Homo-oligomer: A and B are copies of this chain.
Amino acid sequence: MIHINSGDNLLKVLEACSNPHRLMIIAVLSKERKYVSQLARELGISRPLLYLHLQKLEEVEIVSSTMEISESGKAMKYYSLHSFQFEMNEQLIYKLSSTLIFKSKKEKERD
């Protein structure tokens, strides 16, 4: 279960959820795990684009993946959702605001 422990972490999770495709991915995976091509067909988007969105969700551990070899022998990458839950309200934001980090993407990459 994901758990928000800092302002920085809250921000990252919010960013990960702030996209219609990524919300749809979460919705779909909340019912059952899917492999990449299957998910791409279901959402009606290209695999490269799906990869991009899956990466962002994986970075904050909303989803995770496992490679499996299907009965027919093909490699399949399955994505599944990690359950998550937090109360979005001003109290949470206030409480975590002291641990908010203001850095550009480039600065973050240097860490």
Q: A90's contact among B19, B81, B89, B97, by CB below 8 Å, is which? A: B81
Against B, the Cβ 8 Å flags (1 = close, 0 = not) of A22-43 are 0110110011000000000000
Helix, strand, loop or mixed for chain A's interface?
helix
Against B, the Cβ 8 Å flags (1 = close, 0 = not) of A61-104 are 00000000000000000000101111111110110110011100
Q: Evaluate contact between A89 and B83: CB separation under 8 angstroms.
A: yes
* Selected A-B contacts with CB under 8 Å, 18 pairs: A7-B20, A11-B19, A11-B23, A17-B88, A18-B18, A20-B100, A23-B93, A23-B96, A23-B100, A24-B97, A26-B93, A27-B97, A30-B94, A81-B90, A84-B88, A85-B89, A86-B88, A88-B88
Q: Evaluate contact between A93 and B11: CB separation under 8 angstroms.
A: no
Interface size on A, residues (CB 8 A): 33
Residue in B closest to A14 when the chains form the complex, CB atoms = B18
Q: Evaluate contact between B88 and A83: CB separation under 8 angstroms.
A: no
User: Whole-angstrom distance between the alpha carbons of A24 and B94 in the complex?
Assistant: 8
Q: Kindly state whether residue A10 has any CB partner on chain B within 8 Å.
A: yes
